[in-house]
């Protein structure tokens, strides 16, 4: 039987051949100094430089190193999801490969998960070495995410995070949802989420792989994950509610127009306009059509959900007597 592993370090890497030797040596020093049994799992996200050749060479001097190589670049979320599935440690720590995350933070992160019983700890780079063009949109992004999710974190997108193993085994990260792992974890029932101030180091090698478009994509992803998390198993609750609201608005306007015509049709009143000649009639008709379409969408979504193989895919916290 294999010895238990205290910590799995998951590192997505894209064109980081220069930084990996220094990073892996640093991780091993920290683990040895604190007596942790560990594994380092690097996911090469379709690098076009010598990242894989470097990992192959480093595996000969780092017995704890395991690596996975993608055929092409799929993105950070895919790399993290693949790494999560392969981990074996009781605590999982993620960090970027560019040396901007310090492995010296690992012992404190491990303590918060293993001893303080947190489900997830997110790093907070309180002092950043980034230009204003990046820090200001990041602050706005974090404020919006906190408002949507109810999770009070200062730095959702920090790559340095720590998790209980159960968390990474019960969440799925796809698209560009790595920014919202705390949100995904919360919707899976893991609510003890905290943060720790961590060091942000200046980039030593290479260039950033992300542009300003990530903030637009991030907002769209937030709306998507919020909707999917709340209504994936009950889509009729969303579409039906919206449809009912539209039908009530349309019906209320139609009722008002009919009553108004009846009143103005009484003797001595000026001749009323035809109902179909009034703009409100078309507003009522539009609301009724949209409401009907919403209901139909809800029914179709429910039928699709019933045929999903994951319709009863729930997270089990613990078992007793099995």
| Average of per-residue pLDDT across 52-64 | 94
Distance CA 243, CA 291 (A): 4
Contact by Cβ (8 Å): 183, 145: yes
Crossing angle for the helix pair 235-264 and 213-231, nearest 10 degrees? 90
- Per the model's pLDDT, the better-predicted residue between 174 and 94 turns out to be 94
| Average of per-residue pLDDT across 90-107 | 94
245 half-sphere exposure, CB direction, 13 A CA radius: 6
| Average of per-residue pLDDT across 105-125 | 95
pLDDT score of 172: 87
**Of 48-52, 133-137, 211-215, the least confident:** 211-215
pLDDT score of 104: 96
* Residue listed under structure tokens 């429910």: 302
Contact by Cβ (8 Å): 124, 153: yes
Tens digits of residue pLDDT in 14-46: 999 999 999 999 999 999 999 999 999 999 999
pLDDT score of 303: 78
* DSSP secondary structure letter of residue 205: S
Q: 50 CB contacts (<8 Å, ≥6 apart)?
A: 17
Tens digits of residue pLDDT in 119-128: 999 999 887 7
Under the banding of pLDDT at 50, 70 and 90, the label for residue 321 is low
pLDDT score of 1: 45
Q: Where are the alpha helices (DSSP H) in the chain?
A: 20-34, 51-58, 76-86, 106-114, 132-149, 165-169, 181-187, 213-231, 235-264, 279-306
Tens digits of residue pLDDT in 174-186: 877 888 899 889 9
Tens digits of residue pLDDT in 131-175: 666 667 777 878 888 887 888 898 888 899 999 999 999 998 887
What are the φ and ψ backbone dihedral angles of 112, each rounded to 5 degrees?
A: -65, -35
Mean pLDDT of the chain: 85
pLDDT score of 2: 57
Tens digits of residue pLDDT in 236-279: 888 888 889 999 999 999 888 888 888 877 776 777 677 777 88
pLDDT score of 142: 82
Is 100 a residue whose pLDDT tops 60?
A: yes
pLDDT score of 101: 92
């Amino acid at each position: 039987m294999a010895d238990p592993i205290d910590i799995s370090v998951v590192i997505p890497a894209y064109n980081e051949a220069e930084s990996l030797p220094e990073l892996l040596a640093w991780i091993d020093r920290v683990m040895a100094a604190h007596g942790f049994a560990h594994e380092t799992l690097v996911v090469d996200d379709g690098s076009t430089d010598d990242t894989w050749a470097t990992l192959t060479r480093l595996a000969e001097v780092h017995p704890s190193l395991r690596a996975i190589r993608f055929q092409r670049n799929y993105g950070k979320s895919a790399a993290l999801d693949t790494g999560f599935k392969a981990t074996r440690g009781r605590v999982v720590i993620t960090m970027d490969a560019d040396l901007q995350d310090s492995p010296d933070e690992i012992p404190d992160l491990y303590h918060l998960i293993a001893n303080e019983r947190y489900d997830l700890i997110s790093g907070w780079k309180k002092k950043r070495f980034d230009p204003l063009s990046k820090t200001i949109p990041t602050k706005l992004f974090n404020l919006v995410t906190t408002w949507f999710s109810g999770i009070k974190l200062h730095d959702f997108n920090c790559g340095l995070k720590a998790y209980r193993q159960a968390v990474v085994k019960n969440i799925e990260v796809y698209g560009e949802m790595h920014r919202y792992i705390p949100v995904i974890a919360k919707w899976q029932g893991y609510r003890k989420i905290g943060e720790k101030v961590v060091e942000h180091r200046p980039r030593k090698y290479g260039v950033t792989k992300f542009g300003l478009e990530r903030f637009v994509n991030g907002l769209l992803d937030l709306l998507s994950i919020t909707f999917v998390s709340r209504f994936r198993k009950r889509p009729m609750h969303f579409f039906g509610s919206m449809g009912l609201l539209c039908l009530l608005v349309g019906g209320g306007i139609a009722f008002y127009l009919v009553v108004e015509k009846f009143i103005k049709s009484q003797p001595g009143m000026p001749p009323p306009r035809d109902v179909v000649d009034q703009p409100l009639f078309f507003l009522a008709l539009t609301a009724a059509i949209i409401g009907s379409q919403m209901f139909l969408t809800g029914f179709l979504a429910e039928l699709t959900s019933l045929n999903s193989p994951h319709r009863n895919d729930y997270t089990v916290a613990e078992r007793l007597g099995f």
